[in-house]
Amino acid sequence: MKKKTLRDVDVAHKRVLVREDLNVPLGPDGAITDDRRIEAAVPTLKYLMDHHAKVIVAAHLGRPKGKRDEKYSLKPVATRLCELLGAPVKLAPDSAGPDVEQLAKDLKDGEVLLLENIRFHPGEEKNDPELAKRLAALADIYVNDAFGAAHRAHASTEGVAHHLPAVAGFLMEKEINYLSRVLEDPERPFVSILGGAKVGDKIGVIRNLLEKVDRLIIGGGMAYTFFKAQGYEIGKSLLDKENIDVARETLEQAKQKGVSLELPVDIVVGKEFSNDTERKVVPATEIPEGWEGLDIGPETREKFRRIILDAKTVVWNGPMGVFEFPN
């Protein structure tokens, strides 16, 4: 899949709006527990700085649901980005509006401005055309480098691209090149591992992969919706109510296509959503009332390990449990 990238445009002395995926996990104290997504953004941002662009970064953190919530502020991200880039990173007080426009205008070549959490605006997830226009007004060129958020048609990913010349960043280019190769001519057996919270967020991915994979491993929060679809009790575990029927249809489609859809066989459950909660391992189809699934159990880990070791190609998207908690 050929895409125009940063190398195809002259960024010198231009204001460049870069959408990055800086949605990193934070610990209870608000400190970043895994900065790999920030590290992955560095090559694109360094290239822009070295080529005398005025760099404006848009990103989100968590799910603040269109309201300002300080626990989802990008302040810790700005601090870490500054360390990794070896240069100051200004954090804007907002992601749109007159103050932000002035900060963008005042940028000098090679400087970096990080916009505050774009999801503080209700218009972001609604792909509001007005918010997209306001974002576009900040810059001369748009770079989408947010591979982890590119499947969502939001104002900062899809909307803004209608108003500015748009190219891919280096992380986006790398991921597209890799995935194109893997999905067009994979070595077999081809196994995909899917985790994360909601079936609805991944349904397009699941349907595409059912056409290509030999085995599909499903874990993490979305596994409980698949158990519910089969009539099992899931206690207080995560449930994507709107997509129970979709999970049921997916199980049937996998059977029809001869794809082995693998679900957990045992689960680590806890009384509360915390690291130090009382916990135990139970069969995946027997989660007691008042308990919630937090991770795959030891038998499942061994089962999934054997499947992965047998594979020649593995595509992994989303965690198998609450990786933010050490336990």
pLDDT (0 to 100) of residue 115:
98
pLDDT of 2: 74
Model's pTM, two decimal places?
0.74
Give the confidence band of 291 by pLDDT, cuts at 50, 70, 90: very high
Strands (E), 52-195: 54-58, 89-91, 112-114, 141-144, 166-168, 190-194
Is the pLDDT at 289 greater than 90? The verdict is yes
**Would the pLDDT of 284 be above 90?**
yes
How confident is the model at residue 7, as a pLDDT?
Answer: 95
Residue 212 reports pLDDT greater than 80: yes
Q: What is the structure's pLDDT at 3?
A: 83
Residue 196: per-residue pLDDT: 87
109-122 mean pLDDT: 98
Average pLDDT value for residue range 168-184? 90
Average pLDDT over residues 284-289: 97
pLDDT exceeds 80 at position 1: no
Rounded percentage of the chain residues whose pLDDT exceeds 70:
100
- Give the mean pLDDT of 234-250: 95
State the average pLDDT over residues 33-37: 94
Positive/negative CA dihedral, 314, 323, 116, 90: negative
Mean pLDDT of 167-180: 92
Cα 32 from chain centre: 16
User: Of 92-106, 177-191, 297-311, which range is least confident?
Assistant: 177-191
Between 177 and 166, the higher pLDDT residue = 166
Mean pLDDT confidence for 72-76: 97
Residue 46: name the closest of 87, 4, 106, 5 by CA. 87
Mean pLDDT of all residues in 265-288: 97
Using an 8 Å Cβ cutoff, are 141 and 164 in contact?
yes
Alpha helix locations (H) across 170-243? 170-184, 199-210, 223-229
Query: Which of 12-21, 98-107, 173-182, 230-239 shows the lowest mean pLDDT across its residues?
Result: 173-182
Q: What is the pLDDT of residues 123-160, one digit of tens each?
A: 999 999 999 999 999 999 999 999 988 878 999 999 99
CA–CA gap between residue 296 and residue 184 (Å, rounded)? 31
Q: Report, as an integer, the average pLDDT of 106-119.
A: 98
Residue 304 has pLDDT above 70, yes or no: yes
**Peptide bond just before 189 cis, omega within 30 deg:** yes
Mean pLDDT of the chain: 95
Please compute the mean of the pLDDT values over residues 162-179 and round it to a whole number: 94
